[in-house]
Amino acid sequence: MPEWLLYPTPHSFISRGMRRKPPRKDRPAFRGNPKEKASQPAKRARGETWIYGLHAVQAALANPRRRLGRAVLTARAAETIGAELLARVRVEPAEAEAINRLLPPGAVHQGAALETEPLAALDLDAVLAQGEPGKRRVVLVLDQLSDPHNVGAILRTAAAFDVAAVIVQDRHAPPQSGALAKAASGALETVPYIEVVNIVRALDRLAERGFWRIALAGDGAEPLTKVIPQGDVALVLGSEGDGIRRLVREHCEAGAFIPIAGQMESLNVSNAAAIALYELRRGTSS
């Protein structure tokens, strides 16, 4: 194991030239630009480079693609995670209270916090070039979903239903850490999570590859069951507040809804995604 993995300090962690994405306005960097900081306070809160929660930390430790800083753990969490996974990382024993102070208020860390680099960016074409022949491929496209709990929960469900990729717009996606990783319960390490500049262009690329694009929204034209084709599907979901943007919707072949009772206006977006993925995987495998 390289020495820098055993003894990284916050400084050496940066200076050893670990590959990372170029800093962007909406993305925390290890070294901040004070001008950005002033204009983007919410996005630069402490704890954004941390992954916490037992499942999320275990999965990150088990992911060879993941570059790690230190793991700050209670004795109990360290025991649960086990020596094998912890051999990769410098462990800093701590009380739960001390871990609280490293993370955003209210973070449910279960005694486990892990300093990480974001995963290396993935390319949509490379991801789509994989996949089993004969099995329907499903891709989720999240149009401006910014709530990390929702996006994380969707990643978890995506893993459960064997989704080929989750595509988000980089300018509006929540950071790939913290609350997102916690809600994903390890799925951030296994489901290809692709940040694109332009959702419409990504939909065009999916169409070129034969994906049938379905916009899922409360005011869709037909029930979901009526619009599911035989082949590959890109399912587009919008944010809870604003839904799917018009231009994005216009780049879909179909608009579909999940039938619900009149007394509730809408489903939570992660629950809508779960139902839709279940329906897409139901019965047919072609």
- The tokens of 67 are what? 């570059």
Residue closer to its own copies by CB (options 134, 259) is: 259
Is residue 71 a contact residue for its own copies (CB under 8 A)?
no
Is residue 275 a contact residue for its own copies (CB under 8 A)?
yes
Is residue 38 a contact residue for its own copies (CB under 8 A)?
no
Per CB under 8 A, the segment of 86-94, 195-203, 229-237, 256-264 that binds its own copies is 256-264
Is residue 131 a contact residue for its own copies (CB under 8 A)?
no
HEC assignment per residue over the chain? CCHHHHCCCHHHHHHCCCCCCCCCCCCCCCCCCHHHHHHCCHHHCCCCCEEECHHHHHHHHHCCCCCEEEEEECHHHHHHHCHHHHCCCEEEECCHHHHHHHCCCCCCCCCEEEEECCCCCCCHHHHHHCCCCCCCCEEEEEECCCCHHHHHHHHHHHHHCCCCEEEEECCCCCCCCHHHHHHHCCHHHCCCEEEECCHHHHHHHHHHCCCEEEEECCCCCEEHHHHCCCCCEEEEEEECCCECCHHHHHCCCEEEECCCCCCCCCCCHHHHHHHHHHHHHCCCCC
Is residue 64 a contact residue for its own copies (CB under 8 A)?
no
Minimum separation from the CB atom of position 105 to its own copies (A): 4
Is residue 261 a contact residue for its own copies (CB under 8 A)?
yes
Is residue 258 a contact residue for its own copies (CB under 8 A)?
yes
Per CB under 8 A, the segment of 30-38, 72-80, 89-97, 150-158 that binds its own copies is 150-158
Cα–Cα distance, 274 to 161 (Å, whole number): 9
**Contact with its own copies (CB under 8 A) among 26, 162, 170, 253:** 162
Residues 72-111 that bind its own copies (CB under 8 A): 104-106
Per CB under 8 A, the segment of 8-16, 78-86, 119-127, 275-283 that binds its own copies is 275-283
Is residue 43 a contact residue for its own copies (CB under 8 A)?
no
**Contact with its own copies (CB under 8 A) among 84, 259, 285, 286:** 259
Q: Quick one: CA dihedral 235, 191, 51, 195, positive or negative?
A: negative
**Contact with its own copies (CB under 8 A) among 43, 88, 149, 172:** 149
- Containing H/E element for 194? strand 193-196
Minimum separation from the CB atom of position 23 to its own copies (A): 26
Residue closer to its own copies by CB (options 218, 255) is: 218
User: Given the rule CB under 8 A, which residues bind its own copies?
Assistant: 104-106, 149, 153, 156-157, 159-162, 183, 185-187, 190, 258-261, 263-264, 266-268, 270-272, 274-275, 278-279, 281
